[in-house]
Structures are given as C-alpha cells and as structure tokens.
Amino acid sequence: MTLHTRIQQHFADSIATKQKALTLLQDPILAAATLVFDTVQQGGKILSCGNGGSAGDAQHFSSEMLNRFEQERRGLPAIALTTDTSTLTSIANDYSYERVFSRQIEALGRKGDVLLAISTSGNSTNVNRAIDAAHECGMQVIALSGKAGGSMKDLLQAGDVELRVPAESTARIQETHLLLIHCICDLVDQMLLTEG
C-alpha cells in the first residue's frame, strides 16, 4: 500500500464508520441531547471523563458547553474531570489510577447531574468506576463507546444512553465520537433557542 493509498483508506474507513453510525445511532443521539438539555434546564451539570484522545474529547465537550458551540447562548455548566493535574496525580498516588474520576464524582456529583463517559473499548477501569460512582449519587450516564461495548455496557442502567460506534479501530471510533459530541451540542443549542 502506498502512502497515498493509506490516506485514501483512512478517509474511506472514517466515512464508512460515520455512515454506519448514522444508521444506528440517530435515536440515541437525540436521547443524549434531550438528557443534556433537560439536565441543564433543571439546574444540573455535565461531568465528563475519558483517557488519552477521549480525555481530549471530554474537554472538547465541556469547553463547548461552558463557552459556546455555534450559536450565541448562555454558558452551560460542565466540568471535564481530566484537567486538574494536581487532583489527578494525588488521587492516583494516594489511591489508584482507577479512582481518578470516581473520587472527583464523589465530591462533585449531585442527583440530577449527568456523566459523559468516553471509552472506545468500554474497558477503561477508571471510566467504568466513574459510571458506578455516578449511579451511586443518582446521576444518569451518557456512554460513548465502540467495539463490542466492553464491560461499560453491562454497567449501564435504565435512563442511561449508550452511543456505541460500530467499529473496531480506536481512531475511527474517536473520530465518530467527536461527531456525536458536535451533534449533541448542536441539538442542545436548538432546544435552548426554541424552548429555553
């Protein structure tokens, strides 16, 4: 395969993954956006977490909430649990890396808040412990995952929303996660502008 062919293959695979996700995920995307809208309208906030590229996605989402997406609107309450290195390193050092998100949720999470949990494999223990911690404090969960859903899928409860991208490649799943996040932001903006 030439390097040009590799580029073409990346684009073709990314487009195909997004096309499959569109077929499967329209209703859950709308459900996720409705959950975010209802949460912020009722005074709740969105906490977000993930590892590596998904940590970037968690922050991308929270910055679009706190500042804005494409429409002029009020800032919306969101906190990425991936940004405070003092907190992350102290929890990892004193307890374990598995608890870096769940311990923050124990401190910050309130009934009526939502956790946006992002893992391409569904098998990141710290993200899955965050889901358990969120449920413990009465939060609902929006899970962005991929592959076969991993152990994350078995943790989800009624009222949660699973957006599982139908792909095996971490990169393709991440690219589609960002599209899902932008869809959610746009739908929330539309709901705020028409109903809020």
| Residue 92 CB, nearest approach to ligand I22 (Å) | 14
Q: Does 92 bind ligand I22 (CB under 6 A)?
A: no
Side by side, the strands of the sheet bearing 140-146 are 78-80, 46-49, 114-118, 140-146, 161-165
Q: Which one among 39, 48, 54, 59 touches ligand I22, defined by CB under 6 A?
A: 54
Contact range with ligand I22 by CB under 6 A, out of 48-56, 61-69, 84-92, 156-164: 48-56
The verdict on 52 binding ligand I22 (CB under 6 A) reads: yes
Q: Tell me whether residue 152 or residue 185 sits nearer to ligand I22 (CB atom).
A: 152
The reply on whether position 51 binds ligand I22 by CB under 6 A is yes
* 182 marked among binding-site residues: yes
**Binding residue per annotation — 120?**
yes
CA dihedral over 69, 74, 78, 80, signed as positive or negative: positive
Smallest gap from residue 107 Cβ to Zn ion (A): 29
Q: Any residues with CB less than 8 A from the CB of 56 and at least 6 apart, and which?
A: none
102 binds, among ligand I22, Zn ion, none (CB under 5 to 8 A by kind): none
**What is the phi/psi pair of residue 115, to 5°?**
-105, 125
